[in-house]
Structures are given as structure tokens and as C-alpha cells.
Amino acid sequence: MATASSANDLHGHSMGHIALHYVEEAMGPVAAKLLALIGFVETQMLPLPGGNFYRFVVNEQHRGRGDGILYLSCVPPAQAALVQAAREALGHGTDTPHPAIAALREALDHDPEYSFHVGILIDSLEELERITLDLRARNEGDPDLKGRLKIVVNRPQPGDAEIDARLDASPAFGDVTRYAYGRNGIQVFIETDLLTSGPLGESMVLELDYIFPGRDSHILSVVEL
């Protein structure tokens, strides 16, 4: 009898798609712009009542495939209504919010991986540096994105002299003092209120990762405490 792992190897499973929501109709083009700046390839934009529907893929090789897809659409009305009701019940945005709201915010500030997020693996450190520097600049001066991005970086656990020296000299990561739960990889977290997730639909985190080559043990293969 085939085991679950051998059956998966035989049939070639892969990750198909993720469906994300932007906050309101007018934010669709801006949210799509952010995904394109990160490196996703837009393959379709379908204008719909209530907001555009977008199809992105992780790279050109996936344009016509059924995997490596990210769908983007406006949060549906029933979900938006539920989130609004939850916010009202918890005093969100008032002078007396429920303490759980601040507790969750504190947890996310400490660890961007605390709640739902989407990770993207990038195979070039130079490209990750370019994207990071570009988004930092756009958060300061781009009319569409200014003040809408919170960027947090985790360096790998120190100890590999080659990696430590490369990152110390990095224009994007040289001053980073946070460390990941593992070695040999770097994580760039982009939190934005253009996308909605979590119990109150406030923001979402996109995680950009790079794994240094030639290392079998790294941040995405094993968690180290």
C-alpha cells in the first residue's frame, strides 16, 4: 500500500492558488500595483461591479498553469458586514476598545508571523534588496503607497561568517537587528492596510523570503527556538 507521501510524489501535488481581498473598490488598482512591485505577474484584470478582479502568477512560467496563482478581489459584502459588526461590538476605533484589540496589535508588532500571512520565495538576494529599498522609498514618497506599508526584516541567526559579512554590507539589511527563527535565510515582512485579513480585517502581511544556497538547514526547512 502506498503511503501518503509516496502517493503525493506519484501524482505531483503543487500549491494551486491563494485568494486575497483588498479593502474597498477604489483600492483595487493600488493593491494590484503593490503585488506587481513585489514581482507578481498580472495575467488578467476583469472589471466587475464592486471592484476589479485580478489574476497574478508567481512568474511568467506559471502564466498558463493552474498553480502558482494569486487571485485578488474586493472583500465581499457579507464578509465586510461581519467585520464591521465585529468592530462595532469590540469598540474598534473608539476611546474604549476591547483590550484584545491592543493585545493582538502588540503581538503582531513583536512577530509579523503571528497571524495569517502569505510567503513568497525569491531566488535572488539582490532582487530582494532592490524590492525592499524600492518599497521603503515608496512608503515615504509614492502618492499611492505613502504611509501604507510597514516593513520589518529578520536576518538569519548569526554564525555563518559568509552570510553575516554579506548582510553587514547590504544596503537594505546592514542595519537590521532582528533575527529569524532559524538560519541561512532572510525574511522581509510587508504589512499593508490595502489588503484585509485577520479577525478585524485591518491589514495583511506579505512575507518575502530568500534562502542562501548550499545550506540544507534553513528558516523554511526547520524552526529553531
pLDDT tens track for 45-60: 999 999 999 999 999 9
Select from 66, 37, 35 the least CA-distant residue to 45: 35
Say whether both 12 and 40 belong to one domain: yes
Give me the residue label for grid cell 487571485: 71
Say whether both 183 and 139 belong to one domain: yes
C-alpha cell at 171: 544596503
Say whether both 67 and 93 belong to one domain: no
pLDDT tens readout for residues 76-129:
999 999 999 999 999 999 999 999 999 999 999 999 999 999 999 999 999 999
- Asked whether residue 2 is assigned to any structural domain, the reply reads yes
- Residue after which a domain boundary falls, among 39, 74, 109: 74
Say whether both 180 and 108 belong to one domain: yes
Residue 219 is predicted with a pLDDT of 93
Residue 2 is predicted with a pLDDT of 53
- Residue after which a domain boundary falls, among 18, 45, 74: 74
pLDDT tens readout for residues 10-45:
678 999 999 999 999 999 999 999 999 999 999 999
Say whether both 21 and 92 belong to one domain: no
Rounded percentage of the chain residues whose pLDDT exceeds 70: 96
Q: How many domains does the chain have?
A: 2
Cβ pair 73, 21 in contact under 8 A: yes
Say whether both 117 and 222 belong to one domain: yes
- Asked whether residue 50 is assigned to any structural domain, the reply reads yes
Distance CA 191, CA 204 (A): 5
Element (H, E) at 146: none
Say whether both 48 and 147 belong to one domain: no
> Long-range contacts of range 91-97, CB-CB < 8 Å, 24 or more positions apart?
92/200
Say whether both 149 and 62 belong to one domain: no
Say whether both 56 and 100 belong to one domain: no
Distance CA 194, CA 19 (A): 14
- Asked whether residue 43 is assigned to any structural domain, the reply reads yes
Residue 151 is predicted with a pLDDT of 98
- Residue after which a domain boundary falls, among 74, 99, 123: 74
Residue 179 banded pLDDT, cuts 50, 70, 90:
very high
Distance CA 219, CA 183 (A): 5
Give me the residue label for grid cell 494551486: 16
Residue 131 is predicted with a pLDDT of 98
pTM: 0.92
Residue 5 is predicted with a pLDDT of 59
pLDDT tens readout for residues 137-168:
999 999 999 999 999 999 999 999 999 999 99
Range of the structural domain that residue 114 is part of: 88-225
Say whether both 49 and 108 belong to one domain: no
Distance CA 204, CA 18 (A): 13
Residue 212 is predicted with a pLDDT of 97
Residue 216 is predicted with a pLDDT of 86
Say whether both 69 and 106 belong to one domain: no
- Asked whether residue 219 is assigned to any structural domain, the reply reads yes
- Asked whether residue 80 is assigned to any structural domain, the reply reads no
Asked whether the predicted pLDDT for residue 6 surpasses 90, the reply is no
- Asked whether residue 1 is assigned to any structural domain, the reply reads yes
Say whether both 134 and 215 belong to one domain: yes
Asked whether the predicted pLDDT for residue 70 surpasses 80, the reply is yes
Asked whether the predicted pLDDT for residue 1 surpasses 60, the reply is no
